Amino acid sequence: MAVTAAAEGLAAYRAVLRAARRTFAGDRLMLQESAVEIRRRFEDHRGLAPGSEEAARALADAREAAHFITHMIVQAQRAPSGSFVVKPEKVHAGATLEVPSEEILSKLK
């Protein structure tokens, strides 16, 4: 049984949303902003012809985004002392750590 283009697109959309929900759990702002951005990206590709090269590329990009969000992003948590603590999980093995800049940190205060 062949998977329809709509079902494949919906599965990719849900995969990216699930990845964002897991990664940004507890951070309401990031959850909201990521959901808006994910929706916008999928809406931008709504008119692609099913089975076209562009549609296949967009689906591959969505799968890559879900993988990237899950495996390469670690959400830092603010400690009671005011500093940030990063606790990578097994899925982050091999990822590199990028320390947030002072500019980003100042926006969180």
What does pTM read for this prediction? 0.73
Q: What is the pLDDT along the chain (109 residues), one digit of tens a residue?
A: 457 888 999 999 999 999 999 999 888 999 999 999 999 999 999 999 998 999 999 999 999 999 999 888 877 778 888 887 777 677 666 666 666 677 776 776 6
Answer whether 37's CB lies under 8 Å from 88's CB: no
The per-residue pLDDT for 1 is 40
Q: Residue 84's beta-bridge partner residues?
A: 78
The per-residue pLDDT for 2 is 53
Residue 7 tokens, joined? 């079902």
Q: Residue 73's beta-bridge partner residues?
A: none
